[in-house]
A and B are shown apart, each in its own frame.
Chain A
């Protein structure tokens, strides 16, 4: 690294980069629940907040251009032999390197939070993070170029606000996901499902467009005549054309990564599996899962393995129903990257005798499932922190919670002889496996 570059990096690049790093890392730490599940979640969350990082980078670039203008060095530099484009490239490299590094540093600082729990790092996450770095660099360069063209005290704030408005509103002008995704690097990055991904071709298209904008900004800065400045349109037009070609036009913003759904299992038996996206949590899940299998063993034809339910329920035709030998369960990750409410994991695994009714077309009686599970564990049903709440109108009385109803059923079940109670729990399990109504199976006369 040359001394000239080091000086420019320190004096021009670092102030803006520090702002981006502090703001970016600070912001992400306030929304840890968004990205604590894993690397792809973190990258997508950071990409979402490009809606702020890019405008800030534009403002930083314009502020630097203003500083250059106020320094009045043009006269002095004009008498030096170094070609203008070399000087501009050095400045761009220093500014771009610093803000790009800040974007990476945000990932490093936040990544440290989940380093012990996040295992699955797909290439798509690296590519998506790279697009974020490119977008921030292109924004800073664009801000520098525009700031030079209109060097006024209000240019930087105006450009930052305009950039924020544009990054939010321009994607809304399009109807197709692929068009909106090209219009903004922050668009469609909310992760609804932890197996979600950004396809490589989408990142490639976005990277091409960002590179086109960056080159256009460099041309604007390196040239001093309006006629040559018009050449800046060329990389934008070329980049856009190439990006439109590369971008999959059937792109759905909720694209699932099948590798993230693949099971990662314990080497020993009984087998416990989580999705690859949650591989780092296998050790936390295993003791709860094996305890559940041990308690379920009193049932006839008991399940022999516990597997993470990787159904996304986006498309009914793709829903996988687990067999009687498997206890499916949902992994929920807390803000700290570890299992969320692990003390309830056993209860959930035992619900309906270890059979999940999720995906049953007519639903399933939650309280009955909870009561069956509680009888197996020997513990009174508890309100699940993840359970939804009823919405009631003014003056209405909310219905009793599932745990209250389940407790009533559980108490009645306990009054029954052991064999009778077991048979009723087994009936609930069968109902869940077959997606039939389980109401009345625990407290009715028949089973």
Chain B
């Protein structure tokens, strides 16, 4: 239980939590996201794509770490441009980067509390929010252990804890299940569904099965462009017996990619 602020309970004045139109984002000199159109609202969205598809670059742009080089990007109703004041948008963001950096000498609690401070949470709310986030990722027993003593899976969970500490309206998780064992992945799926009830969650992953099991919506990108957006069932429907993959979802994934590549050629 926690007290909701007036801002949190106020009705949203925007149609889409994430709204990209012809979005272009560069990764160095390479145009990694090239004319992407995307609309996401509350729910859990799985971001799929092969290596080099532009998933991480897209996530970084949505996290406001990279500035778009073209097109329009609107987050929580606020335009994200080169001169935009991103402070308000960032207060509503949670982000777990693919390469999660942390202070190894901080305890889990200290790090999550520090991230809460960086997210400009009210001072009084920080201890309880940090405790709640740590509990939600199942790290209560390790709350006062130093980050450097954690296993890879625990570090990932600590990363998720810092991402959700501010109850973000947009939660961006880049490869969050790396290092998690099967049981932890099941717990993680439950957490995603829980958070996705009133937030827009975008999970980038290679694991098609995770997306099918935990997401309400699938976003497939390739070469910086949107290939497919729809339900997991719709993804599975695209697959046929001859397509590569061990499950209907994997077959749908490979079929969509194959067609997109063929069309591009």
Contacts and interface: CB of A to CB of B under 8 A. Distances in A.
Given A80-B119, A81-B120, A73 B101 contact: yes
Interface string A53-95: 0000000000000010001111111111111000100000000
A87 B113 contact: no
Interface residues of A, number: 21
Give the one of A79, A81, A82 with max B CB within 10 A: A79
A11 interface: yes
A389 interface: no
A225 interface: no
A4 interface: yes
A82 B120 contact: yes
A7 interface: yes
A89 to B, nearest CB: 13
Interface string A1-45: 011100110010000000000000000000000000000000000
B106 A75 contact: no
A101 to B, nearest CB: 19
Given A11-B110, A80-B118, A80-B119, A3 B127 contact: yes
A74 B123 CA distance: 23
Nearest to B174: A75
Interface string B73-95: 00000000000001111110101
Given A75-B65, A78-B65, A82-B117, A2 B123 contact: yes
B117 A75 contact: no
Contacts of B104: 71
Contacts of B117: 2-4, 82
B14 interface: no
Given A75-B65, A75-B101, A4 B93 contact: no
A7 B113 contact: yes
Contacts of B63: 78-79
A81 B119 contact: yes
A78 B62 CA distance: 12
Given A7-B106, A81-B120, A82-B117, A76 B88 contact: no
Nearest to B92: A81
B114 A81 contact: no
B97 A76 contact: yes
B174 to A, nearest CB: 10
Contacts of A11: 103, 105-106, 110
B99 A75 contact: yes
A408 to B, nearest CB: 73
B78 to A, nearest CB: 12
A443 to B, nearest CB: 78
B115 interface: yes
A88 B162 CA distance: 20
Contacts of B106: 7, 11
Contacts of B123: 2-3
Contacts of A72: 99, 101
Contacts of B64: 78-79
Contacts of A81: 86-91, 118-120
Contacts of B105: 11
Contacts of B17: none
Given A75-B101, A80-B90, A3 B113 contact: yes
Interface string B15-56: 000000000000000000000000000000000000000000
Given A78-B65, A81-B119, A4 B113 contact: yes
Nearest to B62: A79
Given A75-B97, A76-B95, A82 B119 contact: yes
Contacts of A76: 95, 97, 100-102, 115, 162
Contacts of B86: 81
A79 B103 contact: no
B34 to A, nearest CB: 22
B115 to A, nearest CB: 7
Contact of A71 (B60, B91, B101): B101
Contacts of B119: 80-82
Contacts of B120: 80-82
B126 interface: yes
A79 B87 contact: no
A268 B41 CA distance: 92
B229 to A, nearest CB: 24
Interface in B126-156: 126-127
A74 B90 contact: no
Contacts of B93: 79
Nearest to B130: A3
Nearest to B159: A76
Nearest to B64: A79
Contacts of A3: 113, 117, 123, 126-127
Given A79-B93, A81-B86, A81-B87, A74 B101 contact: yes
A121 B120 CA distance: 45
A131 to B, nearest CB: 32
A83 B88 CA distance: 12
Nearest to A10: B110
Nearest to A2: B123
Nearest to B117: A4
Contacts of A74: 101
Contacts of A87: 118
Interface of B: 60, 63-65, 86-91, 93, 95, 97, 99-106, 110, 113-115, 117-120, 123, 126-127, 162
Given A3-B127, A7-B110, 9 more contacts: A11-B106, A74-B101, A79-B93, A79-B95, A80-B90, A80-B120, A81-B120, A82-B118, A87-B118
21 contacts: A3-B117, A3-B126, A3-B127, A4-B113, A7-B110, A7-B113, A11-B103, A11-B106, A72-B99, A72-B101, A75-B97, A75-B99, A76-B100, A78-B63, A78-B65, A79-B93, A79-B97, A81-B120, A82-B117, A82-B120, A87-B118
4 residue pairs, one from A and one from B, having the closest CB atoms: A72-B101, A81-B90, A4-B117, A80-B118
